[in-house]
Structure 1
Amino acid sequence: MKPIIAITMGDASGVGPEIIIKALQSKKVYEMARPLVIGDVKILKREVRHLGIELNLRVIEDPDDGMYQQGTVDVIDLDLVPEDLPYGQVSAKAGHAAYCFIEKAVKLALDERINGICTAPLNKEALHKGGHLYPGHTEILADLTQTEDYSMMLTATNLKVIHLTTHVGIIEAINRINPERTYKVVKLAHETLVRAGYAKPKIAVCGINPHAGENGLFGNGEEEEKLVPGIKQAQAEGIEVTGPYPADTLFYRGRKGEFDMVVACYHDQGHGPIKVLGLETGVNITVGLKKGVIRTSVDHGTAFDIAGKKRADERSLLEAIYMAVDLAPKFQ
């Protein structure tokens, strides 16, 4: 049976509804999966009309009720936002709804009613105004699945990156890095790659400082204190991990195939190289969620500046759906 992939609508004021409608015209999606949208059918219908696309929307209560046929989009309708919600504006209602879409998807995943989750983007300011004080999707998913050891992984053409820290300021990020966190993320990277089919994956860790500290010339010994002990602990367990290496060359080496995964120390260190390779191919994956919950996502935001202008590119969502389909049987 093709996996059921729940696609959450994200922030209804952003480009999420548009890219979902565009992506679910794809014959390939229906050949690979049974896509199920969790969102608001009023907003999706509005988008179908706005785009001038011929597509049926069918409300269902349960994943087993879906038709999963190209031309008809199956929707679990939570009916949480008004049809006249403005495009491109921060809305507490949209932020609350985006959280509820994820909450519903996680419940279905934990109940083994779906095989994977693929998320359209949410807006963090709207999320907070809606009463949900999370930095983003990753932390929501970790909380809802009661997962303590997790990480954000990004993939693009010939490059995979996993993060020691994500949605925190740079000073706090450095403070949070320690040998235990380094070891746990390296181990998560190794386990994820093995499940994905890599027999003996090669992992490399970025330095925190320029030139990975240059033997103490830059920084205050953060590499030796925070990274090296965790790397050695993983090596002692047979994990093929090396570093820390200068970040300014490591991503190039990773893309050339020298390493299967690069461990970034903080958000922008890892996100920058992935996004330079192209937002249209980037996929965000939450790694380590309990009970085999698979979550992939687009590697871009709500793009309020182009919401409602028919210009949103659905290719990142398509890649995220394909990635969810590929990973689902390997983690369950």
Structure 2
Amino acid sequence: MEDRPRIAITMGDPAGVGPEIIVKTFQDRSIHDCSCPFVVGDATFLREAVSWLAGDLAINPISSPQEASFTPGSVDVLDLENISAAVIPGQPGPSGGKAAVEYIRTAVDLAMGHQVEAVATAPINKKSIHLAGHTWPGHTEMLAEFTDTKDVALMLAGDVLRVVIATTHVPLDAVKELINREQLTTIIRLTHHWLLEHVT
């Protein structure tokens, strides 16, 4: 049995830097030493990113994670083929926002179905997400809805320091109106529970 975790990497907004970041990441073949990564996204956009970067990666479209080869020098792509209108690099738009949400939704469904051990997301564009008709302020709230999770918090983690954010996506002068005892208690409880489970 494979010891390396299977990781679904979402492509992010196709008009953004996600395809480029993914190609640069997969050009470092050591990514396969510690994981079995594949992309949930669009094979055409990844091929274009390989071309822009003068790379030599092979793009391998798949229809399920079980078809992935996890071969260094190639990118397995669960190709949703869901970009319905022209996407212009660097310009937010509803087509890119819709596609980015669908990549994340698919990856979350795979994780909830125990087909992957983790999900990593390339950058999304909040304006594109909103133009596509969604109102989430960011990833955290989107993931909470997709997993039917009531209490969530965003944790920034390094080797020795972990910081849990009490408010997200609000101007600094609005923070004082949003912080309250109940919210802080929930954040502290979530953090404590996570640390007990994951930090020894």
**What TM-score do you get using the length of structure 2 for normalisation?**
0.92
Quote the sequence identity (%): 38
Match of 1:111 among 110, 113, 124: 113
> Once the two structures are superposed, what CA deviation does each residue of 1:122-171 show, in whole Å capped at 9, x if it has no partner?
01011100111110111100001011111011124643210111123445
CA shift, 1:104, in A, is 0.5
Instruction: Provide the rounded CA distance (Å) in 1 between the counterparts of 2:135 and 2:14.
Output: 18
Match of 1:146 among 145, 148, 153: 148
> Once the two structures are superposed, what CA deviation does each residue of 1:278-310 show, in whole Å capped at 9, x if it has no partner?
xxxxxxxxxxxxxxxxxxxxxxxxxxxxxxxxx
SS in 2 for 1:75: strand
1:8 aligns with 2:23: no
SS in 2 for 1:148: coil
- Asked which structure has the greater CA Rg, the reply is 1
SS in 2 for 1:100: helix
Instruction: Provide the rounded CA distance (Å) in 2 between the counterparts of 1:37 and 1:20.
Output: 8
- 1:109 and 1:157, CA in 2 relative to 1: closer, same or farther beyond 3 A? closer
SS in 1 for 2:27: coil
**What TM-score do you get using the length of structure 1 for normalisation?**
0.57
- Aligned counterpart, 1:176: 178
SS in 2 for 1:24: helix
Q: Which amino acid aligns with 1:102?
A: I
Check conservation: 1:42, 1:83, Cα contact below 8 A. Answer: no
Check conservation: 1:103, 1:144, Cα contact below 8 A. Answer: yes
- Aligned counterpart, 2:191: 189
CA shift, 1:83, in A, is 9.2
SS in 2 for 1:89: coil
- Aligned counterpart, 2:161: 159
Over aligned residue pairs, what C-alpha RMSD do you find? Answer: 1.7
Instruction: Provide the rounded CA distance (Å) in 2 between the counterparts of 1:177 and 1:26.
Output: 42
CA shift, 1:84, in A, is 6.1
> Once the two structures are superposed, what CA deviation does each residue of 1:34-64 show, in whole Å capped at 9, x if it has no partner?
1010001110000011111001111111111
Q: Which amino acid aligns with 1:99?
A: V
- Aligned counterpart, 1:93: 95
Unaligned runs of 5+ in 1: 199-332
Q: Which amino acid aligns with 2:66?
A: D
Check conservation: 1:43, 1:83, Cα contact below 8 A. Answer: no
Instruction: Provide the rounded CA distance (Å) in 2 between the counterparts of 1:196 and 1:69.
Output: 30
Q: What are the residue-to-residue correspondences of 1:192-271 with 2, within 5 Å?
A: 192-198=194-200
Instruction: Provide the rounded CA distance (Å) in 1 between the counterparts of 2:198 and 2:159.
Output: 16
- Aligned counterpart, 2:66: 64
Q: Which amino acid aligns with 1:9?
A: M
Match of 1:127 among 114, 129, 134: 129
1:77 aligns with 2:79: yes
Instruction: Provide the rounded CA distance (Å) in 2 between the counterparts of 1:76 and 1:7.
Output: 10
Q: What are the residue-to-residue correspondences of 1:253-332 with 2, within 5 Å?
A: none
Q: Runs (4+) of structure 1 moved beyond 6 Å?
A: none
Check conservation: 1:38, 1:75, Cα contact below 8 A. Answer: yes
Check conservation: 2:98, 2:132, Cα contact below 8 A. Answer: yes
SS in 1 for 2:30: helix
Name the count of aligned residue pairs. 198
Check conservation: 1:9, 1:38, Cα contact below 8 A. Answer: yes
Q: Which amino acid aligns with 1:188?
A: L
